[in-house]
Amino acid sequence: MKVLVIGSGGREHALVWKLAQSPKAEKIFAIPGNPGIAELAECVAGISIEDNGAVVSFAKEHGIDLVVVGPEVPLMNGIVDALNEAGIRAFGPKRAAAKLEGSKSFSKELMKKYGIPTAKYEVFTDAAAARAYVEQEGAPIVIKADGLAAGKGVIVAMTKEQALHAIDDIMEDQAFGSAGSRVVIEEFMEGEEASLLAFTDGKTICPMISSQDHKRAYDGDEGPNTGGMGTYAPAPVMTEENLRLATENILKPVIAAMQQEGHPYQGCLYAGLMITSEGPKVVEFNARFGDPETQVVLPLLESDLVGIMCACADGTLAEQEIKWSKGSAVCVVLASGGYPGSYRKGYEITGLGKAKALNTLVFHAGTGEKDGKILTAGGRVLGIVATGGDVREAVDKAYKGVGEVSFQDMHYRKDIAHRALERL
């Protein structure tokens, strides 16, 4: 089979790495890919991932049998609809189903209608009304831009002042553009967060191994929110009972709800969960693999990813047996100095070969290549991933790999998986 992966980050590198292990994948292409992906696949420059027509033309021309969509924007743009109309199999939800991520108000209203556990909320299009609601409810409280904001449109306000400032930022100053023309204001949920990804064909749902992301920029969960500074899997907070509750009360009902609403959901469903004293509740849904969750979940998958993805697209997931390894995986993100604020690009990265020699995986997230050198080209630059029999072993191996890599102003968290280690 010929496979095409859409995207250029660490998530897509992890997807290509896993897809390349399949005996079914004879050739892999990536649009646009990155220097790490180029070691495993043919990277295609000059096509925008937001140009559905150009992507469909490429897929037809090259006889692509399966397209795997990494990022959210092409999904919201209806790339899967366009590919399916051209008779090309694609892994990912169609545009109407991708609204689960694309509109927080759509997602919250669906959960309310079908009794899926989530935080109490209100939706506002008027900044004055939003401010009045915050005055009435007090803090802590959560302010969310309704649309896509590259993972940064959520502000957990610990004081009323922070909440009011967030409303001004999002609605008046349009910090996230049109994504903030409507805001969702939610109650603050107490508990520990976990990510639960699942494969689904629109009827059957198969949860993956749970994971936990580290959103804050600095050790001890301090500093601004980022796209994710590291992950580990499995997450001990997701006990067998919590996994059962999440599957029965959240995953199965939301897939049934989407079917009922006439928007069957196929692909990867990402449930960001808060494990509260009342059980798991939904923080948010994403319509694709998480980044950097994918980088720790896929190394623990023992089954053939090409086969699973084809089954999701073909509606035959119930026939698939999906196996997972018993160990743990840890990902440490190496970021550019200044991230998630402004940062410089173009610094040479050294030590990649030494890190790989230690049996760690090096997933490229924001890199470029010039004159045979690998350079920094993004905020999150690399994900250094290791697996082990338990989380302690995986953490130690990952940080050994981190120790071999360097570039100017590199920064990373030194406490990835601290919650899991504290439980040990």
- Cα maximum dimension of the chain: 60
| Residue 393, domain CATH | 3.90.600.10
Domain co-membership, 9 together with 64: yes
Confidence at residue 152, expressed as pLDDT on a 0 to 100 scale: 63
Encode pLDDT of 120-149 as tens digits.
988 898 889 999 999 999 999 999 887 776
Is the pLDDT at 424 greater than 90, yes or no? no
Top-confidence residue, 184 or 22 = 22
Enumerate the β-bridge partners of residue 4: 29, 67
Tell me whether residue 9 is in a domain. yes
Encode pLDDT of 159-173 as tens digits.
999 999 999 888 888
Confidence at residue 155, expressed as pLDDT on a 0 to 100 scale: 84
Encode pLDDT of 202-257 as tens digits.
999 999 999 999 999 999 999 988 989 999 999 999 999 999 999 999 999 999 99
Confidence at residue 151, expressed as pLDDT on a 0 to 100 scale: 60
| Residue 176, domain CATH | 3.30.1490.20
Encode pLDDT of 177-196 as tens digits.
776 678 889 999 999 999 99
Total count of residues recorded for the chain: 424
Tell me whether residue 201 is in a domain. yes
Structural domains in the chain (count):
4
Tell me whether residue 263 is in a domain. yes
Is the pLDDT at 326 greater than 90, yes or no? yes
Encode pLDDT of 32-83 as tens digits.
999 999 999 999 999 999 999 999 999 999 999 999 999 999 999 999 999 9
Domain co-membership, 158 together with 204: no
Tell me whether residue 232 is in a domain. yes
Chosen domain end from 285, 319, 353: 319
Average pLDDT, the chain: 95
Tell me whether residue 281 is in a domain. yes
Phi, psi of 228 (to 5 degrees): 125, 120
Confidence at residue 169, expressed as pLDDT on a 0 to 100 scale: 85
Domain co-membership, 337 together with 403: yes
The domain containing residue 203 runs over which residues? 192-319
Tell me whether residue 10 is in a domain. yes
Chosen domain end from 94, 111, 144: 94
Q: Tokens standing for 129?
A: 């009304």
Domain co-membership, 209 together with 306: yes
Encode pLDDT of 301-320 as tens digits.
999 999 999 999 999 999 99
Domain co-membership, 170 together with 198: no
Encode pLDDT of 276-293 as tens digits.
999 999 999 999 999 999
| Residue 37, domain CATH | 3.40.50.20
d(CA 230, CA 332): 5
Tell me whether residue 261 is in a domain. yes
Domain co-membership, 77 together with 29: yes
Contacts of 163-169 spanning 24+ positions with Cβ under 8 A: 163/134, 163/139, 164/131, 164/134, 167/127, 167/130, 167/131, 167/134, 167/143, 168/127
Count the helix, strand and coil residues of the chain and give each as a percent rounded to the nearest 5: 35, 30, 35
Domain co-membership, 315 together with 206: yes
- Please name the residue that has the structure tokens 């604020």: 341
Domain co-membership, 332 together with 315: no
| Residue among 366, 339, 284, 327 nearest 12 (CA) | 366
327-353: average pLDDT: 97
Tell me whether residue 38 is in a domain. yes
344-353: average pLDDT: 98
Domain co-membership, 356 together with 392: yes
Chosen domain end from 297, 319, 341: 319
254-270: average pLDDT: 98
- Please name the residue that has the structure tokens 């008779």: 87
DSSP-assigned letter for residue 419: H
CB atoms within 10 A of CB 382: 31
d(CA 59, CA 45): 14
Domain co-membership, 206 together with 135: no
d(CA 49, CA 73): 9
Domain co-membership, 67 together with 138: no
